[in-house]
Structure 1
Amino acid sequence: MKVALLTYSTKPRGGVVHTLALAEALARAGAEVTVWSLGRGGDEGFFRPVDPAVRVRLVPFADRPGEDVGARIARSIEELGLAFAVAGESYDVVHAQDCISANAVPDCVRTVHHLDTFTTAELAACHERAIVGPRALFCVSAAVAAEVRAGWGREATVIPNGVDADRFAAAAGPEGSAGRGRWRARLGRYVLAVGGIEPRKGTLDLVEAMATVQLVRPDLTLVIAGGETLFDYRAYRAAVDARAEDLEVFPLVLGPVPHDELPALVAAADVLAFPSTKEGFGLAAMEALAAGVPVVARDLPVLREVFDGAVGFATGPASLAAGLLAAGTPDARRVETGRALAAAHTWDAAARAHLDCYRALVGGRSRHPVRA
């Protein structure tokens, strides 16, 4: 089976991580897989090496100074779609992983990782078309599938994310001690958040919570990793910086962390804070569980579905602070529950489930290959 997976970026965002890991697992299962993406800002490859069994097609996408988000989204759709069409390649299934790539290539299938609410006209239209247009939808959790059903009357097939659990478990083991030691020497004891400073990541609530935490545990620093995005969050970042200064929290913002160094950063943390207001699955939290690191997450239906029994839940800054402080008391049962949960989510299982759905799509109501 020939499969094209489409994503919008080469950066380490959750949907891009999903795309590459799924592509490699599909290739292991015998599929012929090509990953298409935009190579933004001169990028000539993804944030990590990709298995040679997966073919990669990057479409150059130059930066334009002063271009606003709406225009950049429209140009992203146009350039990815044009390159895909001009290539003239045929696939049994074309699978988009985000609203940009779903708009770029008609008659695709699409994974809806999570749902957003946009006020910019171009983004709102992109989001809408990417839900109503694809011939079939996947979701990584039943909670998001329920949102799609309630909002658009469409049924999505639920296929949970896989997790590279072994990589994070190894970082927490004896062979990872040197990597953990380097991070601790640099950062001390820390609460880790992954995903950058964004409204969706609940950073303001986390800063508020850390002000309380540091009254009890002044040795704990807030460390924020990641944060590559298409969107302009400068105003939110300024509000977070101002509030952090008022509260004297002073987070250490690392930005994107190299792929090979991320597991040790996670494994060396005292606790992972996961106060997101919107998520589809929670891959960063699952990676922390694989490393045996306690997690405190916002109490969302999707995170209850995926993590109930393995993490602590919080509803706002006060309960988040309480959860982060409580995580300092070891809970062996929860650690083992979390490790088992992470190990149960494999990319090979996700690939098998996708292939079953692909075969049904190709052999069912639409017997013709999806073509560029």
Structure 2
Amino acid sequence: MKIALLSYSTKPRGGVVHTLALAEALAAAGADVTVWSLGRGGDSGFFRAVDPGVRVRIVPFPEGPADETVGERILRSIATLREAFDPSPYDIVHAQDCISANAVDRCVRTVHHLDQFTTPELAACHERAIVEPYAHICVSRSVADELAAGWGLKAEVIPNGVAYERFAGTDPAAREAWRSRLGRYVLTVGGIEPRKGSLDLLEAYALLRADHPDVRLVIAGGETLFDYRDYRARWETRATELGLEPIVLGQVPENDLPSLVAAASAFAFPSLKEGFGLAAMEALAAGVPVVVRDLPVLREVFASAARFAATPHALATELAAALTPDTHTPTRRTAAQALAARHTWPTAAQHHLTFYRSLLHPPTPNE
């Protein structure tokens, strides 16, 4: 089976991490897989090395004019990928985001989560990428239910895999190096942006410091196509008002990320919209206590393995509990790691292959 997986970026966002891990697992299962993406900022490859069993096609995407709007950049992204992509060699064309789904005429689409955009071009892109694909996959039942309620579409539910060994087996010396550099810290991964609930986390951190003045807030990641400068400015202003100095690392080298996660005293995941919560599941794999936003999808995925908080005050309370050693017992940690270990990429790949085959060879009415 020849499969094309399409992504909009080479940067370490959740959907891109998913795309590469799925591609490698599909290739290991015997599929012929090519990953297509746009090379922004001169990128000629992905943020990490890709298994040689997977073909990679990076379409150059040059910088636009200085005054290019987000909407214009979205349209140019779609047009650039559409012009380069040739669907003819592939049995399955599988888009992982709305940009790549708009760039092809016929595709399977993974809907990781649903958004409400105000930029007209992006709102239209989001809508077309839901209604036009001929088949849909969701990484959680909660998102599949949203898709059914809002658009009457039935999606196959295939949960994410997790690189369990990578996060569970980090080098003790590498963990200690992060602790020596940063001290005791709460980590969040995903940068500073509205969907990640960054302002709520800032308010929670201010409350947390009243009882834990030694704990620092560390923020990693943040590569994005969108312009969040206004939100970032509000966040920085509020941090100053609260007298806080969070540590903003930006994009962390791929080899350093697992030990950064494993060295954290707690992991905060206050996202307002998620489809699965891969970064939080990686923290569970590392044995780190996790506090997540109280969302139906995260209740579904994490059950009793995480702590849940709906407000900044509740987030501060749950982080404080997570930082207390006797509340994160070895038994609780082992159970949380077991949940992460059950989500494997080979299993996800097999489910994808079964679904692809059902699309290529649908049963006849008499079957």
Same fold (TM over 0.5): yes
Report if the CA contact (8 A) 1:184-1:268 is conserved: yes
- Output aligned runs, 1:262-273, within 5 Å: 262-273=257-268
Report if the CA contact (8 A) 1:309-1:337 is conserved: no
Report if the CA contact (8 A) 1:271-1:327 is conserved: yes
Residue number in structure 2 paired with 1:226: 221
CA distance in 1, matches of 2:99, 2:182: 37
Residue number in structure 2 paired with 1:2: 2
| 1:22 corresponds to 2:26 | no
CA distance in 2, matches of 1:145, 1:20: 22
Residue number in structure 2 paired with 1:84: 85
| 1:316 corresponds to 2:317 | no
Amino acid at match of 1:8: Y
Q: Gaps (5+ residues) in structure 2? A: none
Deviations for 1:175-231, whole angstroms, at most 9, x for unmatched residues? x11111111121111000100001000010100001111111111000000000011
Residue number in structure 1 paired with 2:342: 344
Residue number in structure 2 paired with 1:36: 36
CA distance in 2, matches of 1:224, 1:44: 27
Q: Which has the higher contact order (CA 8 A, sep 6+)?
A: 1
Residue number in structure 2 paired with 1:124: 123
| 1:337 to partner: Cα distance | 1.5
- Output aligned runs, 1:1-372, within 5 Å: 1-64=1-64, 65-85=66-86, 89-171=88-170, 176-330=171-325, 331-332=328-329, 333-364=331-362
CA distance in 2, matches of 1:62, 1:186: 37
Amino acid at match of 1:27: A
Amino acid at match of 1:241: E
CA distance in 2, matches of 1:188, 1:89: 54
Q: Gaps (5+ residues) in structure 1? A: 367-372
- Secondary structure in 1 matching 2:20: helix
Residue number in structure 2 paired with 1:369: none
| 1:336 to partner: Cα distance | 1.2
Deviations for 1:265-323, whole angstroms, at most 9, x for unmatched residues? 00000000000000000000000000000000010000000001101000111000000
TM-score normalized by structure 2? 0.97
- Secondary structure in 1 matching 2:264: coil
Report if the CA contact (8 A) 1:309-1:334 is conserved: no
CA distance in 2, matches of 1:14, 1:55: 20
CA distance in 2, matches of 1:245, 1:189: 21
Report if the CA contact (8 A) 1:41-1:62 is conserved: yes
- Secondary structure in 2 matching 1:208: helix
- Secondary structure in 1 matching 2:357: helix
Report if the CA contact (8 A) 1:200-1:276 is conserved: yes
CA distance in 1, matches of 2:248, 2:137: 33
Amino acid at match of 1:60: P
CA distance in 1, matches of 2:136, 2:270: 27
Amino acid at match of 1:159: I
- Secondary structure in 2 matching 1:110: strand
Report if the CA contact (8 A) 1:165-1:342 is conserved: yes
Deviations for 1:152-189, whole angstroms, at most 9, x for unmatched residues? 00001000000001000011xxxx11111111121111
| 1:334 to partner: Cα distance | 2.1
| 1:90 to partner: Cα distance | 1.4
Report if the CA contact (8 A) 1:195-1:225 is conserved: yes
Change (3 A) 1:155 1:255: same
CA distance in 2, matches of 1:292, 1:315: 23
Amino acid at match of 1:297: V
Report if the CA contact (8 A) 1:70-1:121 is conserved: yes
| 1:89 to partner: Cα distance | 4.1
CA distance in 2, matches of 1:112, 1:298: 20
| 1:329 to partner: Cα distance | 2.1
Amino acid at match of 2:299: R
- Secondary structure in 2 matching 1:287: helix
